[in-house]
Structure 1
Amino acid sequence: MGETAPKRCTEGAWVDDILLQGDGGDVALHLGEAVSRAQLRELVAAEQARYQAAGLVAGGVVAVRLPPSLSCIVAMLAGWRAGAQVALLDYRLTTHEVGKAVARLTPQLVVEPVTDVSGTLRGFFDVTTRVTPLRTGRPAASQHILLQLSSGSTGPSKVIGRTVGSLLAEIDRYGQLDGFPHRGERTVVLASIVHVLGLVGGLLYGLASGTQVVLPARQTVDGILKAVAAGDEPTTVLGVPSQAAVLAAAQNPPRLPQLRRMITGGELVRADVWERFTHGYDAELGVMYGMTEAGVIAADLTGSTRPGLTPAPGMRVRVEEGQILLGLPESPYVGPSDPTRFVDGWLRTKDAGSFDDATGLLTVLGRLDSQVSVGGLKVDLSEVEASISALPGITGAVVVQGTGIEAFVMVEERAVFDGLADCLAARLAPYKRPRTLHVLPELPRTATGKPVRNADVLRAAARSAAGV
């Protein structure tokens, strides 16, 4: 660790001044029990000393591979306070995947659980951590303080970097969104705290704004609703559309006057989910559009402009040849990347969209790579997917292009799947219809809750389901 790192804007003062400031007695976090700001400051300082004793210096790199937990929150804050670059790895990665990530990111320290944890519906864990110095580690090669791997929903992950300025600008954008929680309110965070929505929109914004951050004990309907009911303050639930769908499917949900709204990000919310949620809970269901590369880009937090979204304050967004472009001061990618993604200050999102000049609203139309050619005719796979998802008895669908158009669906009962081909024949032109239909008990999802759209992974899941 004796090498010299490049000059970096990584002094830890921003952690104390922005994230850990405030009355020491205020509740900052709630993970089964309340954690005050004073307690959080003490834990972070102790963890920082632990890293420095292991050899971490300002400009170093620490990889954090921990499940959602107080230990995970303390670890990332301690790394930043020490002036280090923090690389966040999802705890669900396999040993092989962790090895590849470490080889790409070259951290000097790796923070992991002493004992691996499991439990897909756990909201948080109580873990003891170990800190492992790596002789192969190198100082940070860039001024980014945060490194994340993209979700990999359509292909290999990319290394994405965020600076102090980028994170603080996003925190400020959240504060300017009409309807986002503020001091004196609570946010029940269902989204992963090592990915951009849960990390910045949930954890970092909550710490900076004085909003209490709550992680439910279990991410079941009962666990989430108990977390909402545990406080009288106005409460927002922050998660992904699949979690909204689970809540919307609950029968006779309890009256929760403190529940103001749920806000989702990551993919589009189905119309039937929006209807069931808003009527069942007498609360709003808002949506946000964003990317790991930049955070929140546009939003409709009340559901009043759907499907149109209002660009977030300070975001430069335009649509060129049907593709959403995002103005950024520099490329967000660290290491090798596609040189066509960021050109002349504009990031090509690979998302299709349109602007309404009269209202200034942005409509996100899905991934551009969902548009394929069948017999010389253009087919938008997102249109096929939406048509399937809208059918009664369909609880989830992913459509991809393999040897032909293939659909992978979840159904309420087998009879729905048996009649699916006939239903689609009445709704889609022949060239748009899937050549192959597969039924799955659950759609494979990335760590951030997005449906996997890799045809090989989906087919493997279908073969496994058929074997069972």
Structure 2
Amino acid sequence: MAVDTGAPTFERWLGAALTGDALDDTVWGHGERAVTFGRMRKETARTRDVLAAHGIGSGSTVAVQLLPSFTLLWTVFAAWSAGAQVMLMDPRLTPAETTRLLDLCEPQFHLTVDGPAPTLTSFRDECETVVLPRRSGRPAETDHRLVQFSSGSTGLPKVIGRTGRSLLDELDRFALLPEMPRRGERLLLLSSMAYSFGLIGGVLHALRHGVSLHFSGSPQPRDLLRILTERQIHAVFGVPVHFDLLSRVGRPGDLPALRLAVSGGEMLRPEVFHRFEEAFGVRIGQAYGMSEVGIIATDLAGRDAPPAVGLPAAGVHTDVVEGTLRVRLPEDPYLHADRTRRYEDGWLNTHDRCLVRPGDGVLEILGRTDSTVVIGGLNVDLTEIEAALLEHPAVTEAVVVYGEAIECHLVAEPALAKGELLAWCRERLSPHKVPKALHFVRRLPRTANGKAVRNRELLHASRERERQVIIR
């Protein structure tokens, strides 16, 4: 196994961060429970001993699929500090999706929860962990410390690797941003810890700089507002839906501590940006990035309204080719490079349509160029949903598009009921991928060369012209 170069290594940095006496008084909180870094150190050490008893150590490959919790945090810290390669898997994956990723990546151990995959993954204090050895697993063959997953345009998962050096470099980029939460401040983290912004910009930045990290067990806006008020939160990190919900509860009253609100994961609508500022007196900032790269561009203070996402982060080199944003990377981030052609000649194609604003160089993100959309901060490949629908024996054609929600236009046998097809989808897809609307038509519109039309407006126009939608 290769070893990271440079000083400090990621493992040495993490070990130092977890043993620093200065962090004993910094509290991470959830509900009525407060966890000091001292407690976090003890639980990390205890968990590392448990993992060692199962044979997990330097060079091991460990798939971690736990619920959002303090248990997840100290389990990941323990695996990393032991020198293991951590594969972070979303706990909402179906058994079929989980098996597909495990077979693809071949980890030696699978850390999971007992029972069926949950549909809701709100933060909790602790969760039971089951350690499942996998005889077919393979030890780490690269120096990647973190492995994450993202859907691609073919519907097959892309496997993304981050070295310890790249994680430390991203932490340095966050540290150079003057608006980021600092020692003694309180950050409400709503972004998923299974993805880059929540994990690196939230958890690891807080660990590095002595920021108090707070979590919510409820996504309800009034519960979030109560946390903001009672704990005098200085900063909140989330996805657009969080800020949309918060902006709808009315004027919250006096929140003198709140100075920063940052959205990441998907495009922020201008109306949410303006409504939140009117209600809270704070502009929503943007953290634009992707798992393959980490943070790409930022406007944490929200100086510009969407679609602007700010200037490229320190050390990040970007280019716009034929209207599409590309990012310079020293190596291919994909561990199964044969599954994608997005990385070529040192440049990663983000598949995001982009404009560079004349005069100041601010990036404006205008949408996607491929079949991938981002919903609630999670990548969703629409062709994956189409493939699941077409597996049903009664479905002959299907086109999936995204507007306000995921919707499917399909041709099927008349006897097929909507409820039956939705149940079919729920068995094969994660909850956030299940279509919200099914439109049964006699035929799908096609282009002159025979390709199915994938424009939502044209699909609805064709549907209205035919007036032959089957009501189920």
Same fold per TM (> 0.5)?
A: yes
Conservation of the 8 A alpha-carbon contact between 2:174 and 2:205: yes
In the aligned structure 2, how far is the partner of 1:262 from the partner of 1:286? 6
Equivalent positions of 1:375-414 (< 5 A) are 408-409=403-404
Conservation of the 8 A alpha-carbon contact between 2:351 and 2:368: yes
In the aligned structure 1, how far is the partner of 2:55 from the partner of 2:209? 33
In the aligned structure 1, how far is the partner of 2:78 from the partner of 2:156? 30
Q: CA deviation at 1:201?
A: 1.1
In the aligned structure 1, how far is the partner of 2:107 from the partner of 2:382? 38
Please identify, of 74-83 and 153-162, the stretch whose mean Cα deviation from structure 2 is larger: 153-162
Aligned pairs, how many?
403
Gaps of 5+ in 1: 372-380, 383-397, 411-433, 437-443
In the aligned structure 1, how far is the partner of 2:285 from the partner of 2:19? 28
In the aligned structure 1, how far is the partner of 2:127 from the partner of 2:340? 41
Aligned residue for 2:42? 42
Relative to structure 1, the CA distance from residue 53 to residue 123 in structure 2 (aligned partners, 3 Å threshold; closer, same or farther) is closer
Aligned residue for 1:389? none
In the aligned structure 1, how far is the partner of 2:402 from the partner of 2:134? 44
Conservation of the 8 A alpha-carbon contact between 2:67 and 2:123: no
CA deviation profile, 1:325-378 (whole Å, cap 9, x unmatched): 11111111112445531122111111111212411211111112279xxxxxxx
Conservation of the 8 A alpha-carbon contact between 2:153 and 2:371: no
Conservation of the 8 A alpha-carbon contact between 2:26 and 2:212: yes
Equivalent positions of 1:265-414 (< 5 A) are 265-306=264-305, 307-308=307-308, 309-338=310-339, 340-369=341-370, 408-409=403-404
CA deviation profile, 1:102-158 (whole Å, cap 9, x unmatched): 111211121112455746272335312121222111101211010011156983321
Question: 2:435 aligned with 1:458, yes or no?
Answer: yes
Q: CA deviation at 1:73?
A: 0.4
Aligned residue for 1:386? none
In the aligned structure 2, how far is the partner of 1:363 from the partner of 1:81? 39
Equivalent positions of 1:217-256 (< 5 A) are 217-232=217-232, 235-256=234-255
In the aligned structure 1, how far is the partner of 2:151 from the partner of 2:222? 28
In the aligned structure 1, how far is the partner of 2:10 from the partner of 2:141? 16
Conservation of the 8 A alpha-carbon contact between 1:146 and 1:163: yes
Relative to structure 1, the CA distance from residue 66 to residue 319 in structure 2 (aligned partners, 3 Å threshold; closer, same or farther) is same
Relative to structure 1, the CA distance from residue 255 to residue 451 in structure 2 (aligned partners, 3 Å threshold; closer, same or farther) is farther
Aligned residue for 2:211? 211
CA deviation profile, 1:197-245 (whole Å, cap 9, x unmatched): 111111111111111111112121122122222323x511111111111
Aligned residue for 1:110? 110
Report the AA paired with residue 155 of structure 1.
G
Conservation of the 8 A alpha-carbon contact between 2:153 and 2:370: no
Conservation of the 8 A alpha-carbon contact between 2:287 and 2:300: yes
Relative to structure 1, the CA distance from residue 296 to residue 407 in structure 2 (aligned partners, 3 Å threshold; closer, same or farther) is closer
Aligned residue for 2:54? 54
Report the AA paired with residue 354 of structure 1.
L
Identity of aligned residues (%): 34
Aligned residue for 2:460? none
In the aligned structure 2, how far is the partner of 1:154 from the partner of 1:191? 26
Report the AA paired with residue 65 of structure 1.
Q
Conservation of the 8 A alpha-carbon contact between 1:399 and 1:406: yes
Q: CA deviation at 1:7?
A: 4.7
TM-score after normalising by structure 1: 0.77
- SS class of match (1:158): strand
Conservation of the 8 A alpha-carbon contact between 2:356 and 2:362: yes
Equivalent positions of 1:116-155 (< 5 A) are 118=118, 120=120, 122-151=122-151, 155=155
Gaps of 5+ in 2: 375-380, 387-396, 412-424, 441-469
Q: CA deviation at 1:19?
A: 5.4
In the aligned structure 2, how far is the partner of 1:144 from the partner of 1:435? 42
In the aligned structure 2, how far is the partner of 1:370 from the partner of 1:136? 33
Relative to structure 1, the CA distance from residue 37 to residue 305 in structure 2 (aligned partners, 3 Å threshold; closer, same or farther) is same
Please identify, of 329-338 and 270-279, the stretch whose mean Cα deviation from structure 2 is larger: 329-338
Aligned residue for 2:459? none
Aligned residue for 2:178? 178
Q: CA deviation at 1:17?
A: 2.1
